[in-house]
Amino acid sequence: MKIRIAIITALETHKVRHPVLRKGRPLASCAMDGDNKKSTVHWGAYLEHTLVGVVSLLSTPEHLDTQPNCKQIRGMAVLKNYRNKGIGKALILCLENHAQKTTTAYLWMNARKRSIAFYEDLGYCKKGSFFEIEPIGTHGYLYKFLN
């Protein structure tokens, strides 16, 4: 299975965000603050010609600590039938490689509780207590310093 990762548009992320992150909600709910900023980058993972995973990197101020050169990971999603095949990991590693090239020193995100272990396996650390983001669910704050 060969995964191809490419930069995509914010609108293209909706094809995966909707069934994974916003199921049962309007398609418009897939749009996230900062999606269309010039500094935001979106990646898509393809198997053959099918978009199966997405992730976005935003220049958003970090909210629990003051960290220089930080960026936020948002909208990470892999279609259900394609999980546990290395697609999510490939997306995050691509994002981290890009971040290091652009002198980003610190990545952070609000991750769904069920996804915390996935990110911890990739070196992210949880900080603080779990919290609710309505109507989405329970989240944890995760971060990683890049070398």
- As a whole number of angstroms, the distance between CA 129 and CA 141 comes to 8
Q: What is the pTM of this model?
A: 0.92
Q: Say how far residue 25 (Cα) sits from the centre of its chain.
A: 19
How far is the CA of 48 from the CAs of 1, 6, 104, 131, in angstroms? Answer: 9, 13, 31, 38
pLDDT digits over 12-31, tens only? 999 999 999 999 999 999 99
Order of strands across the sheet with 70-78? 3-8, 41-47, 50-58, 70-78, 106-112, 137-145, 125-133
Task: For the chain, list the domains and their CATH numbers.
Answer: 3-145 (3.40.630.30)
| Whether the bond into 61 is cis, omega within 30 of 0 | no
pLDDT digits over 115-138, tens only? 999 999 999 999 989 888 888 889
